[in-house]
């Protein structure tokens, strides 16, 4: 039996098997190198990304689990997500809360509503609160500083994470001094040309990356990240993302599959895949053994067991939603966002059970980055 491949040569089944075996062995060697050195060249990254097979992925995931358990054990850290505004001044082509989406039902939470979310979360065992929102001009430095100080005053044993987009160095510094510990700012894609295809012209990859540099300089625990399978993305783009992250050395990396939103220019673009997202999670764990790595909501959206699979690929953080039920369905960055309808207490119990079934335990902890010390 013969098979025709793209270069028009004829290979017998046995010859084809031999070629695939050699290529698979090369991928395993690259995984071993990454685990040992935490470094690959761009060409090696591209080869490893393009050379993904189910067998290679399973080997990767086993190595990633070994590394995360060596550093963080079986612990799963939970962050309480508070989506406090869906107003945004930006018009990113992929995002459901972009300013030109007139179908979005806009809202803002008051200080009292935000603090109530924190109170509910604290009682459930959350020791990190993540304030996430669009770039909403209503939330000035003064207003955000008041909110951060109020949370810090009431919950001194908790970490405060902000995810409110691009701001000035002075703004970041002021919020840090007010008591914020961490900042999440996905770089989305490192490649400048690719970035331009996903964003309006007033936004740039360089400015985004400078914000991350500023945040690290100020002293935040910093999180970056990218979409997997976004429109126009190539293996070379993903390789550049990995190299940028290796240089930045963030404390957290948040990645998830691209999922389109019906009211954006990318409405009909195909979603990123579960398999490639999990694969990139595993690679990130080997590259940055100590990184705090979430299994994101988007992962749970694209597959009902996506978060569990994320943990088995090397993740160790999950971010349940503490936002009031009345607004959760309004913070729609993409279609069909995972939303169980459960109250927060029920959701946490469900999460604990799900993690326990795969051998992991949700813990009451700030879940700080362990640096180079390990556990």
Estimate to the nearest angstrom the gap between the alpha carbon of 276 and the chain centroid.
14
Residue 270 in this model has a pLDDT that exceeds 70: yes
CA distance 229 to 235: 10
CA distance 156 to 229: 39
Estimate to the nearest angstrom the gap between the alpha carbon of 230 and the chain centroid.
14
Residue 374 in this model has a pLDDT that exceeds 60: no
Mean pLDDT of the chain: 91
Residues present in the chain in total? 375
Q: Where are the alpha helices (DSSP H) in 168-253?
A: 169-178, 192-198, 205-218, 235-248
Find the angle CA(310)-CA(315)-CA(317) to the nearest 5 degrees. 110
Domains of the chain, first to last:
68-363 (3.20.20.70)
CA nearest 333: which of 80, 78, 83, 81? 83
Q: Which range has the worst mean pLDDT, 7-11, 32-36, 256-260?
A: 7-11
103-108 contacts at long range (C-beta below 8 A, 24 or more positions apart)? 103/263, 104/263, 104/330, 104/332, 105/330, 106/330, 107/327, 107/330, 108/84, 108/136, 108/138, 108/139
- Exposure of 189 in the CB half-sphere (CA atoms within 13 A): 27
- Is 299 or 168 the better-scoring residue by pLDDT? 168
Local confidence band at 325 (pLDDT 50, 70, 90 cut-offs): confident
Find the angle CA(274)-CA(324)-CA(185) to the nearest 5 degrees. 50
pTM reported for the whole predicted model: 0.91
Query: What is the structure's pLDDT at 17?
Result: 58
CA distance 287 to 162: 25
CA distance 93 to 286: 32
**What DSSP state is assigned to residue 95?**
-
Residue 116 in this model has a pLDDT that exceeds 70: yes
Average pLDDT over residues 99-108: 94
Phi–psi pair at 228, nearest 5 degrees: -105, 125
Average pLDDT over residues 230-248: 98
Query: What is the structure's pLDDT at 342?
Result: 55
Query: What is the structure's pLDDT at 340?
Result: 55
Name the token pair of 210: 């400078």
CA distance 224 to 184: 6
- Is 159 or 325 the better-scoring residue by pLDDT? 159
Looking at the chain, which runs of residues are DSSP E strands? Answer: 2-4, 10-12, 75-78, 80-85, 128-133, 159-163, 182-184, 221-224, 227-228, 252-253, 256-257, 317-318, 361-363
Query: What is the structure's pLDDT at 311?
Result: 97
Residue 361 in this model has a pLDDT that exceeds 80: yes
Residue 46 in this model has a pLDDT that exceeds 60: yes
How many other C-beta atoms can be found within 10 angstroms of the C-beta atom of residue 363?
16
Average pLDDT over residues 142-158: 98
Query: What is the structure's pLDDT at 347?
Result: 82
């Amino acid at each position: 039996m013969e098979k025709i491949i793209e270069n028009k040569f004829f290979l017998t089944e046995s010859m084809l098997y031999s070629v695939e075996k050699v290529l698979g062995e090369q991928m395993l060697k690259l995984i071993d190198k990454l685990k040992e050195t935490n470094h690959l060249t761009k060409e090696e990254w591209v080869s490893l990304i393009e050379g993904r097979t189910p067998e290679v992925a399973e080997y990767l995931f086993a190595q990633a689990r070994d590394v995360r358990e060596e550093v963080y054990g079986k612990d799963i850290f939970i962050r309480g997500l508070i989506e406090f505004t869906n107003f945004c001044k930006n018009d990113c082509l992929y995002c459901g809360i972009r300013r030109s989406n007139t179908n979005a039902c806009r809202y803002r939470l008051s200080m009292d509503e935000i603090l109530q979310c924190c109170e509910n979360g604290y009682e459930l065992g959350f020791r990190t609160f993540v304030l996430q929102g669009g770039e909403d001009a209503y939330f000035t430095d003064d207003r955000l500083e008041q909110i951060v100080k109020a949370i810090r005053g009431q919950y001194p044993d908790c970490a405060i994470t902000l995810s409110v987009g691009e701001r000035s160095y002075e703004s970041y510094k002021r919020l840090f001094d007010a008591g914020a510990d961490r900042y999440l700012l996905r770089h989305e894609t490192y490649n400048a040309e690719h970035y331009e295809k996903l964003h309006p012209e007033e936004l740039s990859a360089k400015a985004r990356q400078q914000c991350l540099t500023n945040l690290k300089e100020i002293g935040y625990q910093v999180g970056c990240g990218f979409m997997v399978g976004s429109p126009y993305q190539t293996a070379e783009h993903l390789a550049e993302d990995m190299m940028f992250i290796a240089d930045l050395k963030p404390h957290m990396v948040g990645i998830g599959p691209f999922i389109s939103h019906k009211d954006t220019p990318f409405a009909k673009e195909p979603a990123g895949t579960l398999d490639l997202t999990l694969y990139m999670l595993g690679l990130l764990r080997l590259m940055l053994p100590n990184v705090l790595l979430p299994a994101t909501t988007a992962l749970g959206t694209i597959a009902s067991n996506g978060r569990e699979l994320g943990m088995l690929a090397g993740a160790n953080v999950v971010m349940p939603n503490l936002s009031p039920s009345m607004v959760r369905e309004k913070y729609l960055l993409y279609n069909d966002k995972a939303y169980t309808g459960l109250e927060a207490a029920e959701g946490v119990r469900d999460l604990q059970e799900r993690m326990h079934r795969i051998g992991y335990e949700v813990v009451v902890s700030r879940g700080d980055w362990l640096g180079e010390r390990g556990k």
